[in-house]
Amino acid sequence: MRSRWLPASTALAVLSIAAIAACGSGSSGAAGAAGTSGAAGEAGATGVPGAAGASGEAGARGPAGAAGEAGATIVVGISDTAAQGLSISPVPVDLTGLNQDQIELVGNGSYLVNAASDCASCHTGTAGFLAGGVSFGPVTSRNLTPDSTTGMTLTEPQFIVSMRTGADFSGVPDGGTPTASLLVMPWDALRWASTYDLASIWAYLKVIPPVTNAVAADTKPVAPPTPFPADGPGGAPLPPEFTTSGDAEAPVPDPGFTLRGLALNPLDVTPPADPATQSQFGRGCYLVTAISDCSGCHTNSGGTYLTGGQVFATPAPLEPVVHTVRAAAADLVGAHNGFFTNPDVDYATFLTLITEGIHAEDNPPEPLAYPMPWQYFRNMTSDDLQAIYVYVNAVASAGLASLSTDGVIPNPALYCDSTISCPPGSTCSSASGGECLAQGACSTDLDCDVCQVCVGASASAPTDGGATDGAAAFGSCTALSSVAPDGGTSPLAQCVAEGYPAFH
């Protein structure tokens, strides 16, 4: 049985091979239609960057930009004072063609005009810096700019003569002699300035921008110029400024014009013995007396030197700005009420007063009242501020009998209206613009503000039985009347004219 299974298997294999052979030996059929495209494969990796191409041609030049602001004028080789003067000038100065000495002169002049004094307070109006036009009753401040038709045309010698004698050259023909004197202009203080400083002021005024501004002619009373004295206000002879050397005058050295300041010394106060402090005393006296004209405000007419009391009415447009309607100049050196005799006042207090315009010794600190020009004095060098402090403090500490009769100077009268309120305890005299009046807080007129009076106060309050209980009854402050009686002067005008302590 087995022998027959094997041949059968073999036969099947032969048949299979034959079938396969028969299929492979036929002719090839036609190609079938192309199939649809398969889905796109994933992106390959980024290749290596190619080499940079050549630079293109430069574009056309763009338009020029706007000009930048002018930088500060920097001049090498001039004094710190002159450099300070050039840096604080509120207008540009033309230094073209000037040598170093002339630039020093201009810088020193700017310092005197814009830091050590306040020329702009009177000579700057709506027309521009130092272009004049501000009215002071019968006079109008002059145009000090170098405008050839309406400005200052004085020569340097004429300017010095004008400051030394008060001579008014306005309207005087060339070569003529002035017959009238300047009014309001504080030439009677500037007359004590050195020739160099007066020439410096003139030099600065000649290089500021000219402004065309014709000002009204004065209608003042005529008074002749005053000859320049040989002695200072304290009676001491002024030191020589020049000495003859050959055919020319040579200046006598006087650094900071200390010797001149020591000679001015209005109350003849003994200077400190220490040389350095004595130099500060002299420089301080020179600035206070001849340049800053502190006495012009802080010495009342007929009053004692620097004991204050002169009253200044605030111009109406400034009342809402400075918040006062009037103020009296402070007592600086009086034995009883002087600022510099206050034990709470030291150099730091003085420096804060001048540089920030506040009374740091008060609690709370009170602002300086108009018209104290601290905004100008803050521009002085620290050396000059120290010198002024040394001098005025020495006067206050001298123990002079003439300074022992000083009186109380009332506080400034504050402005108020519907938007500016009064301090607590005070009422406004007019919602449309008036002054603050303290209520139920005064015993005397001096408890009220400048040119106000106390009404309703009594030494003691009566009881129901008519006796007094020994308690004071406080009154209220009221404003002085501005109405003048027939042919007379109003109480308010009288107060402003007399000041303190004369008014009381």
pLDDT above 90 covers what percent of the chain?
Answer: 76
What is d(CA 383, CA 121) in angstroms, rounded to the nearest whole number?
24
Instruction: Indicate the burial class of 350 (C-beta count within 10 angstroms; 0-12, 13-18, 19 or more).
Output: buried
Closest to 130 (Cα-Cα) out of 116, 147, 105, 107: 147
Q: How confident is the model at residue 14 (pLDDT cuts 50, 70, 90)?
A: very low
pLDDT in tens, 64-91: 666 555 555 557 789 999 999 999 999 9
The values of phi and psi at residue 210, to 5°, are: -70, 145
Cα dihedral 224, 230, 232, 236 sign: negative
Q: Which residue type, as a one-letter code, is found at position 160?
A: I
- Check: CB of residue 389 under 8 Å from CB of residue 301: no
pLDDT in tens, 453-482: 999 998 764 545 555 555 678 999 999 999
What is d(CA 143, CA 216) in angstroms, rounded to the nearest whole number?
10
pTM of the model: 0.82
- Residue 447 has which token pair? 């408890």
pLDDT in tens, 180-213: 999 999 999 999 999 999 999 999 999 999 999 9
- Check: CB of residue 454 under 8 Å from CB of residue 441: no
DSSP secondary structure code for residue 297 in this structure: H
Mean pLDDT of the chain: 88
Closest to 136 (Cα-Cα) out of 122, 150, 117: 122
Other beta carbons within 10 Å of 282: 27
Residue 261: which H helix or E strand, with range? helix 258-264
